[in-house]
Structure 1
């Protein structure tokens, strides 16, 4: 019997939402999964493949995982917007890694056929997907103390100052340099797990 799992059977989950055209095999998702495996609580780590449609992505998370306020949403890039929206809906804690800030304008230039980053899969980004983004991107920030922002000043796609302003009342870690993929992510996993309430498990 795995005593670590049974001891924490009633504990919360970390639900990771990947970015635009990304997947559960991204570097950040893989590193988090490896840490949860090391802690013997892999059943508390959730990281699905998200569809291109923003609303379908939100529905998938809600229907598959039935989130509660105890769960923690972690999102990267566009997944950060999804994590923000879900955290507001469920009153959950939320970690944002170089999150997309009002992304509908920039992503409107990607309409058409695209390639996935981590596979040969063909993807389609449509005008209706952009309209769905518009419908969710202005979500409020009603409990900023429940948010942790990790923003890299070297992000080549999203201006870190826009992220800082959008989440100005949240806890923030502004990382000098790095990039949109958040190179050096392994150095911040403990910050994320501590904020999310998982790090104490390492001391059991």
Structure 2
């Protein structure tokens, strides 16, 4: 089973999750809508990992940050798509009213959520756990930070693209090989 973890202002029914479902099958992908509270999101994701016998995490942006924490905690492999490494800094400007991209739902991003994010920071990772997919033209995050942090892991840099990593379909075979590989 694969757990797809969406990013900030996104939701479980995103283009990436639909591409994953199309390739792996509806029954192979769990892609929940997450609480805006990082603490609540991590709690619900932890429950899913335990109850659904998840063997691969796929996280995009903020979902990548959550995936790093969860992969280390639960001894899982993870695919990180343009992962956010410091969302407690990059999401600070969003404190206040926001809208989700998928359904235009309004929500309030709170200072307490920034503090919650800090609790899930991982300083050192087991590099063998990760396949990291980066695009150099990410307009939100500096891909070089992830490239440096994950030096020694399986990292693919596409020298184009954007933060949304819209051509994820081109990497589904690679994700499947990583999922099925031994550590």
The answer to whether the aligner puts 1:138 opposite 2:126 as a matched pair is no
The answer for the alignment partner of 1:155 in structure 2 is: 138
Rg larger in 1 or in 2?
Answer: 1
Give how far 1:73 is off.
0.7
Give how far 1:193 is off.
1.3
Higher normalized contact order (CA 8 Å, seq sep 6+, divided by chain length): 2
Q: Deviations over 1:70-118 (max 9, x none)?
A: 6111100000010111000011111100000112112111111111111
Give how far 1:146 is off.
1.5
The answer for the alignment partner of 2:106 in structure 1 is: 122
SS at match of 1:94: strand
Stretches of structure 2 that go unaligned for 5 or more consecutive residues are: none
**1:21 pairs with one of 3, 9, 14:** 9
CA–CA distance in structure 1, aligned partners of residues 13 and 54 of structure 2: 25
**2:67 pairs with one of 80, 83, 87:** 83
SS at match of 1:179: coil
The answer to whether the aligner puts 1:169 opposite 2:157 as a matched pair is no
Aligned CA-pair RMSD: 1.7
Stretches of structure 1 that go unaligned for 5 or more consecutive residues are: 1-12, 199-204
The answer for the alignment partner of 1:61 in structure 2 is: 45
Q: Deviations over 1:171-193 (max 9, x none)?
A: 11111100000122111111111
**2:28 pairs with one of 20, 33, 44:** 44
Q: Sort the Cα spacing of 1:65 and 1:145 in 2 relative to 1 into closer, same or farther, 3 A.
A: closer
The answer for the alignment partner of 1:197 in structure 2 is: 180
Give how far 1:36 is off.
2.0
Q: Deviations over 1:93-152 (max 9, x none)?
A: 1110000011211211111111111112111110110001111123430x2112100000
Give how far 1:68 is off.
8.2
What is the TM-score when the length of structure 1 is the normalising length?
Answer: 0.84
Given that 1:103 and 1:137 are in contact with CA atoms closer than 8 Å, whether structure 2 keeps it comes out as no
Give how far 1:65 is off.
4.0
Q: Sort the Cα spacing of 1:32 and 1:156 in 2 relative to 1 into closer, same or farther, 3 A.
A: same
